[in-house]
Structure 1
Amino acid sequence: MLTVNKILKHITKKIKINDKLFKNRIISSPISINMAREGYVTNNIINFFSNLAKSGVSMVTIGAASISEQGNDTLNGMIIGPKKYLTKLKLLSKNIKKFNSYSSIQIYHVGAQGNPIHNKQEIVGPSKYLYKNIGVECKPLSLKEIKKIKNDFVKAIIQAEDAGFDFVEIHLAHGYLLHEFLSKHFNKRKDSYGKSLFNRFRIISEILEDVFKKNPKIKGKIGFRLSANDYVKDGLNIDELKKIVKLLDKYQPAYFVITAGLYETAKFKYLDMKKGKYWNYAKKIRKITKTPIIAQGGITDLYTANNLIKNNFSELVGMAQSLIADPNLIKKTFSGNKKKIIPCLAHIKVGSCHRCRYLKQKNQTFSCITPTSWKPNSEIISKGEIKKDIKLWENLNKEIYG
């Protein structure tokens, strides 16, 4: 009779990325819990990500730290660029490492999908763009403003290294600013940052070249979150992503995470995630690069994760909601207590929730209706609120899936 360890041998196999030896193939996917204070890391943030590190993953990814105040999509989001944030960032990376887990911090600029109600900033993008649900047309960036944003990205990447994070993940997906430069759906520019793919990629290449010039040690430590499908006619697709991957490969990336979708195409994104299409996108990219691929999106158990590695979809797998619902999922699985794993309550009740990640209207803080999940120091979820949340997400689910 096969033991759990033998059945799950593919996700327990070690893998080396750059000079880091990963103890297994499981990472926690980036999550933004919206609990910073004026951009600063708080105790709740440290506790949340430390709890994920304690779960047994080989790497914890801190979600969406903005390069600047302008780039933030919420008043409670983390900011990484300016020096004043360094001390608290160091504390965050240090606490994750206590539990034998590597750390990666994802950085981004919200771009044209921003909402001034939530971040109190001017909304900018490569070209004019209006996301109807927000109703604010963004201002096209001038060359001078692009230079400023490039410098902000460079500072943020170097600050992540100085803070002790093992990797930096640059967000090139989900319709955020750098993705907007890559995608013709957003980028209508006619200057050196528009039209051809080479020009649309220019801002990224200039950021990377400047980083490596200022700190060559960062080579091999930058991962990228990439969109395989924007679900719009003039957006990115798997064929164009393959070309982008070839351009990125010249810069010795640490890893690629494959995802899809924009704010305006979330409906299609969730449907594809449920069908496992994200994993198929990952497999297609894996065939054309030697850079390690992280498959993610709808992976809720280690048996699914193991099969993805076994069948060459990716080198690693990213999980989020299931690890939040039951932080002991990995330990319970390997001890043979599979039946004792507490699944995400929202998945059982409504098929989807995302309150742990999408934070309703981007202006609230993290919470999870599953009783076993991590809870913030300042928040206890009542039974009444759980019922209210379930009703809310039942309605949202009907909206998304029909």
Structure 2
Amino acid sequence: MATVFERTALAGMRPANRIIRSATHEGLGDREDFPARLAERYIRLAQGGVGAIITGYAGVSRDGRAWPNMLMIDDDAYVAAYREVTEAVRPHGVPLIMQLAHGGGRTEPAVTGEEAKAPSRHRYKGAGTTARELTEGEIEAIVGAFVRGIIRAWRSGFDGAQLHAAHGYLLAQFLSPALNRRRDRWGGSTDNRFRVVREIVSRARATVGDFPLLVKLSAYDFDDGGMRLEESARLAELCREATVDAIEVSCGNDNWFCVVRSPKVPVEAIVELSPALRGASWLKKKIAALLIPRMFTTYDEQENYNVAAAAAIRAAAGIPVIVVGGIRRLEAIEAIIAAGQADYVSMCRPLVIEPDIVAKMRDGRQAGSRCINCNYCLIGVGANPLKCYYGRLPGKD
């Protein structure tokens, strides 16, 4: 029977255990979008016992940059800088996987310098922008940007790459029947909506060969006409057929509190920490504090909320499945692995508050994470390096 703390084989990589650090935007891109202090963060995670590390997302093109402090991989100039990171982490024996992304309709003109673009015209709640429809030529250019990003990750010494096709970013927008209403070869049927991922993987394989390629999928969302499990299970089958090596199962599109659950909307943190409101007047902040609770939906299920979906996708996919979403306790991790609901689990917020939580679980020093799901870390990272706030704003202790 599979156990949590055993060394396994994942697409040729050798994770020391079945707990993976899920991609987490670290806010550590410098003014030229080069990685700053990234190696020390990953070394700390490696020393803390994780089986593998997926990086915070790196943008494949300027028009897909989602944050001012986002990492980028859209130019060959970045390869040497990332090679320094991979070479620093390699002695610790923990596979390092680069996540690649394009913001699509979730980008903002203030960040990219141009209007947001998406598979179909759509207003995105999180960004507050209306994206125009991509042209055929622009889609081809984006496919090429992802392919070049994968090749740069390979050349930089990463052990694998992951395509971010979840959480309402561009590839997820293509996959979603609610967000992709195109009538050409990039839309319509499930196979057509998957075409963008298939093309990226196929074209990259011509250069990188059997370099491990993973995809992060949203198994479901709560959008009208959006992603449902039957659809995502079919997408998982298409991933296998396209030679994707593993799938990470998450949820949600641009509804942020579907992706990362909170017991309540963290109004104070959004007002004080989000880039859009940090420099706002007291009156604008006051109005925002009244409106924000009406703009977001909270969800009762706070832990392990993607496990059932992951089990169904694993049954359909026939390739390794990683599950993320509110995973906090060793008892739950052991049960997920023992029952075959997923091959690996991944965590984000628990490793923000405790980079060594996996070692603590492995050594019997701690049964679960101290994370309280306040989500201040994921709000504050828009303008600051990633850190745990533990539900307290700076200067208000």
**TM-score, length of structure 2 as denominator length:** 0.84
> Would the aligned equivalents of 1:69 and 1:121 in 2 still touch at CA under 8 Å?
no
1:240 aligns to 2:218 (yes or no)? no
> Would the aligned equivalents of 2:353 and 2:387 in 1 still touch at CA under 8 Å?
no
Note the C-alpha offset of 1:135. Answer: 3.2
The equivalent residue for 1:150 is 143
Secondary structure in 1 aligned to 2:162? strand
Secondary structure in 2 aligned to 1:60? strand
Note the C-alpha offset of 1:332. Answer: 2.7
Note the C-alpha offset of 1:273. Answer: 5.2
The equivalent residue for 2:361 is 333
1:165 aligns to 2:158 (yes or no)? yes
Q: Distance in 2 between matches of 1:181 and 1:272?
A: 28
Q: Distance in 2 between matches of 1:39 and 1:214?
A: 27
The AA in structure 1 aligned to 2:105 is A
Note the C-alpha offset of 1:265. Answer: 5.9
1:359 aligns to 2:359 (yes or no)? no
The residue correspondences of 1:180-259 to structure 2 (distance < 5 A) are 180-218=173-211, 221-259=212-250
| CA deviations over 1:224-261 (Å, ceiling 9, x no partner) | 10011121121111000111111111122221110111
Q: Distance in 1 between matches of 2:196 and 2:23?
A: 23
Q: 1:298 to 1:132 in 2, by over 3 A?
A: closer
2:331 to 303, 317, 330: 303
1:280 to 308, 324, 344: 308
Q: Distance in 2 between matches of 1:284 and 1:193?
A: 26
> Would the aligned equivalents of 1:118 and 1:363 in 2 still touch at CA under 8 Å?
no
The residue correspondences of 1:3-402 to structure 2 (distance < 5 A) are 10-218=3-211, 221-264=212-255, 266-267=257-258, 270=261, 271=299, 274-338=302-366, 343-344=370-371, 347=372, 352-359=373-380, 362-369=382-389, 385=394, 387=396
Note the C-alpha offset of 1:35. Answer: 1.6
> Would the aligned equivalents of 1:222 and 1:253 in 2 still touch at CA under 8 Å?
yes
Q: Distance in 1 between matches of 2:152 and 2:224?
A: 37
Q: Distance in 2 between matches of 1:109 and 1:282?
A: 24
Secondary structure in 1 aligned to 2:92? coil
| CA deviations over 1:60-108 (Å, ceiling 9, x no partner) | 1102111012111011100012101111111122222221100111111
As a proportion of its length, which structure holds more helix? 1
Note the C-alpha offset of 1:216. Answer: 2.2
> Would the aligned equivalents of 2:43 and 2:89 in 1 still touch at CA under 8 Å?
yes
Note the C-alpha offset of 1:363. Answer: 3.5
Note the C-alpha offset of 1:302. Answer: 2.4
Note the C-alpha offset of 1:39. Answer: 4.9
Q: 1:72 to 1:364 in 2, by over 3 A?
A: same
Secondary structure in 2 aligned to 1:105? strand
Q: List runs of 5+ in structure 2 lacking aligned partners.
A: 262-298
Count matched residues. 360
Q: 1:31 to 1:133 in 2, by over 3 A?
A: closer
Note the C-alpha offset of 1:272. Answer: 6.5
Q: Distance in 1 between matches of 2:231 and 2:244?
A: 18
Note the C-alpha offset of 1:342. Answer: 7.2
- Percent identical across equivalent pairs? 25
Q: 1:178 to 1:267 in 2, by over 3 A?
A: closer
Q: Distance in 1 between matches of 2:325 and 2:258?
A: 14
> Would the aligned equivalents of 2:251 and 2:259 in 1 still touch at CA under 8 Å?
no
Q: 1:179 to 1:141 in 2, by over 3 A?
A: same
Q: Distance in 2 between matches of 1:177 and 1:230?
A: 15
Q: Distance in 2 between matches of 1:155 and 1:272?
A: 41
The AA in structure 2 aligned to 1:301 is R
Note the C-alpha offset of 1:9. Answer: 7.5
Q: 1:198 to 1:272 in 2, by over 3 A?
A: farther
The AA in structure 1 aligned to 2:394 is E
Note the C-alpha offset of 1:21. Answer: 2.4
Q: 1:135 to 1:319 in 2, by over 3 A?
A: closer
| CA deviations over 1:306-361 (Å, ceiling 9, x no partner) | 1210121111111222222122323333333228x8723xx0xxxx222333436x
Q: Distance in 2 between matches of 1:163 and 1:263?
A: 31
The AA in structure 1 aligned to 2:374 is C
The AA in structure 1 aligned to 2:117 is V
Secondary structure in 2 aligned to 1:138? strand
Note the C-alpha offset of 1:139. Answer: 1.8
Q: Distance in 2 between matches of 1:205 and 1:260?
A: 21
> Would the aligned equivalents of 1:272 and 1:278 in 2 still touch at CA under 8 Å?
no
Q: Distance in 2 between matches of 1:336 and 1:275?
A: 21
Q: 1:301 to 1:342 in 2, by over 3 A?
A: closer
Q: Distance in 1 between matches of 2:180 and 2:9?
A: 37
The AA in structure 1 aligned to 2:337 is I
Q: 1:123 to 1:384 in 2, by over 3 A?
A: closer
Note the C-alpha offset of 1:43. Answer: 3.6
| CA deviations over 1:187-208 (Å, ceiling 9, x no partner) | 1211111112222112221212
| CA deviations over 1:160-219 (Å, ceiling 9, x no partner) | 11111111010111111111111121112111111122221122212122111233243x
Deviates more, 1:34-43 or 1:187-196: 34-43
| CA deviations over 1:20-43 (Å, ceiling 9, x no partner) | 222211111111111201453334
